[in-house]
Structure 1
Amino acid sequence: MLYNARFIYGESVVAQEADVVVIGAGFAGLTAARALLEAGASVRVLEAASRVGGRALTETSAANSAVDLGGQWVGSQHSELRALVADMGIDLFPSYDVGKQTVLVGGRPIPLVSMTGAGVAVGLTRLALAVRSGVGVRDDRRLSDWLATVKPKQARRLLDVALTELTCRHADDVSISAVADMFAGSGGIREMLTVRGGAQDSLIVGGAGALAEAMADELGDRIALNERVTEIEQSTAGVTVGTAGGAMRASRVIIAVAPPATTRIVYRPALPGAHTELQHSLRMGSVYKAVAVYPRPFWRDHGCDGQALMLDGPIRSAFDVSPPDGPGHLCVLVPGPAAVGLDALSADARRVAVLRAVADHFGPGVASPLSFHEKSWQHDQFAEGGYMGLPTLRQLAAVRAERARPTGRIHWAGTETADRFNGYFEGAIRSGRRAAGEALAAL
């Protein structure tokens, strides 16, 4: 399918280099590129960062174990992701899920067989019914307005923390409709909040980054790193993709990057107004993630359940994400405004604050990890936040209508464009397959 046409780009003559150029080497872009290659199309992948993986980021610990600082969990319903893991010859292992998640206030557990527990149960039931029926779910109604109806106060706080954990946004900044849409597309409230049998069911041996690298290995030198796309020009003859290092010609383009990155590209001609509005309507959340690594998961010795939700203090949740045969991995997540609050601390002070906050639950030994790894995704120059872009108030319908609609020769991928499991790797993979199919049909 590769064309030999040549054309003028600025003052340079540029040869067509691929049937399709894919922008972004996260799970969506890598999936699209693999699908195109399997179908016999020529493809080039341009990635602005110095690595593949996008919102998957894996480091190596002092214990030589894989540490995920980005997305990591594989849900029970994530069929495409599970198939990909198997196809790459990589194994999964079950998330540690012994006992019940503990809710802490002031470092002390609160009983869920209480008014707080009853209030949470009623609130979640009401929310689940609203998601299914649509009653009371309006895109001009803030999540904070809905939370204000939950009683008692501590139950309201618990639900606020739990929902902020999922959206990474302040409850004033997201609509109840956007939250309901997220639940409906991801298997429901129970699925999203559950470990075993839910969205946090399993983990990838070697980390999510190993999976991305395995996909990239298949593509070889078709991937160019440190290649930030600056402009895209469409014509009846094809598409010109410009970078700081030059330009290339293709028949089609798939853009598979986080929403903020799409706004930094100059489009000629300009994108339709509806899509431009969509780009600015999807806002990334703020999220800080840290993983402390120990010789072994010692907290299990005294029956610690390995999961904790904190209603106060500097962090919001902690999980035991240790690989089956060790070492011990303790994952901490801090979403929304609390993540921004950690920015004021130095790296050393932040580490001390994070580990001190979990010491009462996991034991004083957490103060001395072999290594400590952290990532503030709101400062990542390519993603600019996590876990995904959510619509601003009153924009959900427009986003639904436009998020995956091709604009001329440009096709859109990325977890935000998926109709199911958006915000997860599963959604990214599904979107990559869909965009590749569109491009192939148009070649």
Structure 2
Amino acid sequence: MSKESRVVIIGAGFAGLTAGKRLREQGIVPIVLEARERVGGRVYTTPYVDGKPLNLGASVIIGTEGNRLTELAASINARLEPLGDNKYLARPGQPALSDEECERIAEAVDDAFDAIKEQVASSASIDERANVADAVYANLRAAVAEEPDLDYEVLRCAADALSEDYAAEIANVSLRHVSVIKDNGGDDSIVVEGFRPLLRAAAGDDVIQSVLLEHVVTRIDYTGSSVRVVTANHGDFIAEAVLVTVPLGVLKARDIVFEPPLSADRQLSIDRVGFGLLDLVVLDYSNLSEPFWPDCNQFTTLQPDNVRHDPQYASDLLPRDAMCFVNYHYINGRLLLVAYVVCELAKRLEAMSDNEVASLFGRHLKCYFPDAKQTRPCRATLGRWWNNPFSRGSYTYIAVGGDPADFSVLATPCHAVAGSSQPEATDTITSSSAAGAAKSMLFWAGEHTVRERHSYADGAWASGERAADEITRYLHERKHHAVTQ
């Protein structure tokens, strides 16, 4: 039997849940479907073996100044820990560089990245094929020319950590559009007790408790005056409007069949926007009495070229120029390290067991801390976002050859057009068009629909509220249309 509602929301991540709250505030109670056995989407805070919360998804507020998440955290007394200065271990077997040396490296990389933003802002002729990596490395070489005591290989490796910002190799990130994201001021900060309390505060218990879990959507038919949402194991749902908030990776994989098919323009945008991979790897050292790593909230191991090919280390080092570790012992006393792993290395680790991952990190860290008696963690826990069929990656970026206009295309509502060669038409719901109001509509939200804050949780939040407002206007006009017929 089909279940009916005025609105169905597909996906119970930040966008879907906050849209649900906004709709309830307007007197509209949606049905919220979630494929997983939990709410949150890419916000995944789970109890760890010590009973304390652990983030395997979103964990950091990027740019705390002027960020709604910062205000939300303050309202519930959630503790934020700024990610301060980074300690660099430039080569295996050597101690961490001095504070002064680490500061110079960080400043050189930051200056190189800031310089490319200035170059892009002052030039109207950046080749659409240009990438961030080439520009950053060119600026780093220029910095070494001015300060010959700087080590270019160390700087190049340190710049590899920029891949964490995009969940992608910086060689795949568009230089032309590097400044599209709005940068908030303030330190990036970890939410120490986990991101889940922020999600709960933003969405409210009523919405969260109403979510129908383990409802896997396989097909959406929006050809008629209502939308039919087909699930794999819980029947069909009928609605006047459907809000689609599934991650871009799911849309790229075409795991949901749309009838009629999405328009060529929308499909092009889905294919063209980059969707990267970043996995958090939690390394548990609770079997140790004290840490063997530096007493700071984060450190990074670097691999200059001559190290990577050194037979003494080649078989034990993880294949990334930079590997960042967040030190939870410094943050809250827990003997945990959390490694940030991106791209192909993350995919490689996802093909392994947690036990194998623990061994790999143990060998890697032994190269940098040879005097430590035990570098293998007693357990490792991996986020595994690539192999998750309900995410298929982590977050979006503008790839080389991409276009920021794609975010607007992905955010625009749509409806079917009978007899048209264009199977989907867009309707921004700005007027009480009788033709538009009589049709069922698909609406779209998620971080991949936000130009200036794509890839961020606050961007997903804003998109959910924007889509809820569009739905409210649409339903009002649809009701008005029905009354006047």
State the alpha-carbon separation in 1 of the partners of residues 334 and 379 from structure 2. 11
Q: Which residue of 2 aligns with 1:74?
A: 61
Q: Which residue of 1 aligns with 2:183?
A: 186
- Whether the 8 Å contact between 2:92 and 2:369 is mirrored in structure 1 is no
Equivalenced residue count is 415
Change (3 A) 1:96 1:276: closer
State the alpha-carbon separation in 2 of the partners of residues 148 and 82 from structure 1. 33
Q: Which residue of 2 aligns with 1:105?
A: 91
Q: Which residue of 1 aligns with 2:147?
A: none
Q: Deviations over 1:217-259 (max 9, x none)?
A: 3225531111111222224522221212221111211111111
1:11-410 matches, within 5 Å, as 14=2, 17-75=4-62, 76-77=64-65, 79-85=67-73, 89=76, 91-95=78-82, 97=84, 100-108=86-94, 109-110=96-97, 113=101, 120=109, 122-134=111-123, 137-149=126-138, 150-151=140-141, 153-154=152-153, 157-158=156-157, 160-181=159-180, 184-187=181-184, 197-198=186-187, 200-205=188-193, 207-212=194-199, 215=203, 217-219=205-207, 222-235=210-223, 237-244=225-232, 245-262=234-251, 263-295=254-286, 304-312=295-303, 313-314=317-318, 316-322=323-329, 325-343=332-350, 345-358=352-365, 360=368, 364=372, 367=375, 369=377, 371-386=379-394, 388-408=395-415, 409-410=441-442
Which protein has the larger Cα radius of gyration, Structure 1 or Structure 2? 2
State the alpha-carbon separation in 2 of the partners of residues 157 and 266 from structure 1. 43
AA aligned opposite 2:381: H
Measure how far apart 1:52 and its partner are: 1.0
Structure 2 residue runs of 5 or longer lacking an equivalent are 145-151, 304-316, 416-440, 476-485
Q: Which residue of 1 aligns with 2:461?
A: 429
Which SS does the other structure have where 1:254 is aligned? strand
State the alpha-carbon separation in 2 of the partners of residues 110 and 163 from structure 1. 20
- Whether the 8 Å contact between 2:247 and 2:390 is mirrored in structure 1 is yes
- Whether the 8 Å contact between 1:260 and 1:383 is mirrored in structure 2 is yes
AA aligned opposite 2:37: S
State the alpha-carbon separation in 2 of the partners of residues 165 and 118 from structure 1. 17
Measure how far apart 1:78 and its partner are: 5.9
Q: Could you tell me the percent identity over the aligned residues? A: 24
Change (3 A) 1:83 1:63: same
Measure how far apart 1:72 and its partner are: 0.6
Which SS does the other structure have where 2:176 is aligned? helix
State the alpha-carbon separation in 2 of the partners of residues 306 and 344 from structure 1. 29
- Whether the 8 Å contact between 2:361 and 2:376 is mirrored in structure 1 is no
- Whether the 8 Å contact between 2:217 and 2:229 is mirrored in structure 1 is yes
Q: TM-score, normalised by structure 1?
A: 0.82
What do you get for the CA RMSD once the two structures are aligned?
3.2
Change (3 A) 1:107 1:379: farther
- Whether the 8 Å contact between 1:27 and 1:212 is mirrored in structure 2 is yes
State the alpha-carbon separation in 2 of the partners of residues 179 and 282 from structure 1. 13
AA aligned opposite 2:388: D
Which SS does the other structure have where 1:376 is aligned? coil
Which SS does the other structure have where 1:176 is aligned? coil
State the alpha-carbon separation in 1 of the partners of residues 120 and 243 from structure 2. 32
Name the one with the larger strand percent. Answer: 1
State the alpha-carbon separation in 2 of the partners of residues 166 and 118 from structure 1. 17
Which SS does the other structure have where 2:381 is aligned? strand
Q: TM-score, normalised by structure 2?
A: 0.75
AA aligned opposite 2:357: R
State the alpha-carbon separation in 2 of the partners of residues 362 and 303 from structure 1. 14
Measure how far apart 1:104 and its partner are: 2.9
The range that moved more, 374-383 or 125-134, is 125-134
